[in-house]
Structure 1
Amino acid sequence: MTLLELSADYRASAAALQTRALELEQQRRSTDSRELRLRLDGRIRLLRTMWREARELAVLCEHYYERGYRRNVRYTL
């Protein structure tokens, strides 16, 4: 598997994470339970972090071999 192929997988994962986070946000808006809202907030926050990281890794893999590409500092050695 090449890094370009891997980037497509990261993008697909990011889309799935975003979809799930949006579903949970909708569920959060429709609930009256304070406890459930707090649990959903935690899950949504985690999904948003995973979504952001998957998007960043997709970009990194897409451009890894391009000369002059400025990589994200978080993912450099």
Structure 2
Amino acid sequence: MTLLEMSVLYAESADKLRGRIAQLRAAERAETDPETARRLRQRAESLRPLLRETRELAVLTAKYYDRSYHKHEKYTL
């Protein structure tokens, strides 16, 4: 598997994460029990870092061999 192929998979995963976060936010807004709403908000917030990293990796793997792309310092050895 090439890095370009991996970037597509990362982008798809990011879309799924974004959708799940949206579902959790909608469920939180519809929830009448404050404790359940808090748990749903917590679950959504726990996915935010994963979404951010997945998007970053999608860009990094898509542009890895592009000479004009300045690589993300977080993922540089």
TM-score (norm. length: structure 1): 0.93
- Matched residue, 1:16: 16
Q: Deviations over 1:3-47 (max 9, x none)?
A: 000000000000000001001100000011111111111110122
Q: 1:53: Cα distance to partner? A: 0.9
Partner of 1:71: 71
- Does the residue aligned with 2:39 lie in a helix, a strand or coil? helix
Quick one: distance in 1 between partners of 2:55 and 2:5? 14
Cα-Cα RMSD: 0.9
TM-score by length of 2: 0.93
Long gaps (5+) in structure 2? none
Tell me the percent identity: 44
Amino acid at match of 1:56: E
Return the offset for 1:72: 1.3
* 1:68, distance to aligned residue in structure 2 (A): 3.1
Gaps of 5+ in 1: none
More displaced 10-residue stretch of structure 1: 13-22 or 39-48: 39-48
